[in-house]
Chain A
Amino acid sequence: MRTLLKLTWVEIKLFVREPITMVFTFALPIIFLFVMGGVFGNTPDPSVYRGVGAIDYYVPAYFGLVICAIGVVALPVHLTGYRERGVLRRLRASSISIWALLGSQLLVSFIIAVLGSILVTVLAIAVYGVDLAQSPGLLALAFVIATLSFSAVGFLLGAVLPSTRAAQGIGLILFFVMLILGGAGPPPEVLTGAMQIIGDITPLRWVILVLQDPWLGFGWAGQASLIVVGILLAATALSARFFRWE
């Protein structure tokens, strides 16, 4: 327990000292918020953005983007780097268990996701005066399963990808495909059929729905939440199967 907390604190500091992941998790969502907000404003249009204003749509979507950046960029690069350089071996030799390691990564992901989302919210309120979550309790639950799910995807990528370079390449491709087609870029309604299909098979699409519904007061996204939990279970099982210390 003491090790878990110490490791978590060290990992938070390491995360903050790493400029690349800071850009992806904190800077990019904010840049997108201002670009999209500046272009589309916040006047509702029944044909796009699920019928709500663009900024109301994007704020919870960018919570999802922060979580997605942690899961597909930060975590896989971090874990493959640890394995490649022998850090995992070093930790294991000092009897730092896999549970402390994964538990700390999960806590860090959660803390960073919360901080990133608070930042998005604060800026959106300050600049655009958006409303806060309609159902805060459900939003918190959505946030937890979304973070768990993307963290599990991150562990899986970290377990199966052979090198840091592979993790960087594949992580960035996944990130940008999800960003553009998964609902955090152009409104899903304007995507062509093929793009929508690709968007539908990205986890971010469902994570965004799970986060948006409580934020916008649409209730709970039942189907989407089942998919997100399914991804969580599948990715957890697969990463347990493929995890290697070296």
Chain B
Amino acid sequence: MPPIITVQNLRKTYGPTVAVDDISFEVAEGEIFGLLGPNGAGKTTTVECLQALRQPDSGEIRVLGLDPRRQARELRKLIGSQLQESALPDRIRVWEALDLFASVTPRALDWRMLLEQWGLAAKRRSSFSSLSGGQRQRLFIALALVNNPKVVFLDEMTTGLDPAARRVAWDLIRAIRDNGTTVVLVTHFMDEAEKLCDRVAVVDKGKIIAADAPQGLIVQHAGEVRVIFTTDVADIAWLEAVPRVDRVERKGLMVEVRGSGPVIAYVAAALVGHGIIPGDLRVEQPTLEDVFLKLTGHSAGD
């Protein structure tokens, strides 16, 4: 299947600031594609170039076969946008905004259904300025979906949502994907990227430094598994010789074994073999956050 979005050597500067240095990627139809990266990495700039909201300095972009530079108007009708920063008139009511944004295309969804889905039915007649941060965010997501887009861009969709609302949002986004919509998601939440995205690109300083399925990234870049338990047996140096073990550290009673792959099975067997049966043996699998920290050299959000 041909990709629905292709980006080749995208570059965008603001005066001396290089926001996007050189970014290339493809998104397949029906995929949830994530862009992950520290603040100022160039994620918003990238997706806004794709949505014809900013003019790139150079590079080739195709979204649904259209060039955002030259076919902006056609393109905007086919895509949905939830922008990282935007607003509505203070005194507009929730239903008025949805009704207005639905009027741009005959393909639009029934906005009453969206109100229900995104938990805004009770706020139907409330003015925009009276909504809480999370309610505004949900309204913006609903507005991004109301024109029944083929590709939807969500820039920090769940920022400001409570944990329950985030779960609901994930389920709804998956359902939208299952109906054939392609989703491009910018996020700072590692769990969101890990659970929701089919593929993730890690962006840093205007470049993509890794791109793969979340599990693929984890295996490739943060393969280290940690096995942790406590024991009062003093001599555990023999653990170093157990298959798949790379390193053993001891902090008081706590032992931390670092290794790869099925290390937990070997360690457990060896412990039992030595007559050590710890009650608190646990394994910590690496997460996308470990990948992120390793690749970008700093933690998410700074």
Contacts and interface: CB of A to CB of B under 8 A. Distances in A.
A17 B92 CA distance: 9
Contact of B53 (A10, A82, A93): A93
Interface in B91-108: 91-92, 96, 99-101, 103-105
Interface residues of A, number: 21
Chain B residues touching A, majority SS: loop
Contacts of A95: 73, 76-77, 104-105, 147
B104 A90 contact: no
Interface in A1-27: 2-3, 6-7, 10, 13-14, 17-18
A188 B76 CA distance: 52
A18 B73 contact: no
B92 A89 contact: no
Contact of B85 (A3, A18, A86, A97): A86
A221 interface: no
Given A86-B83, A94-B147, A7 B100 contact: yes
A2 B77 contact: no
A141 B6 CA distance: 54
Chain A residues touching B, majority SS: helix
A87 interface: yes
The interface centre, meaning the residue of A6, A85, A93 with most chain B CB atoms within 10 A of its CB, is A93
Contact residues on B (Cβ < 8 Å of other chain), bracket: 20 to 34
B45 interface: no
Contacts of B100: 3, 6-7, 10, 96
A3 B103 CA distance: 5
A89 B88 CA distance: 10
A30 B165 CA distance: 51
A14 B91 contact: yes
Interface string A24-40: 00000000000000000
B186 to A, nearest CB: 15
A93 B151 CA distance: 13
B53 A92 contact: yes
A74 B73 CA distance: 29
The 9 residue pairs across chains A and B that have the minimum distance between CB atoms? A95-B76, A93-B81, A90-B86, A86-B86, A17-B91, A85-B87, A6-B103, A3-B103, A2-B103
Given A13-B96, A95-B73, A95-B76, 15 more contacts: A6-B103, A13-B91, A14-B91, A82-B89, A85-B87, A86-B83, A86-B87, A87-B86, A89-B83, A90-B83, A90-B143, A94-B76, A94-B143, A95-B105, A97-B73
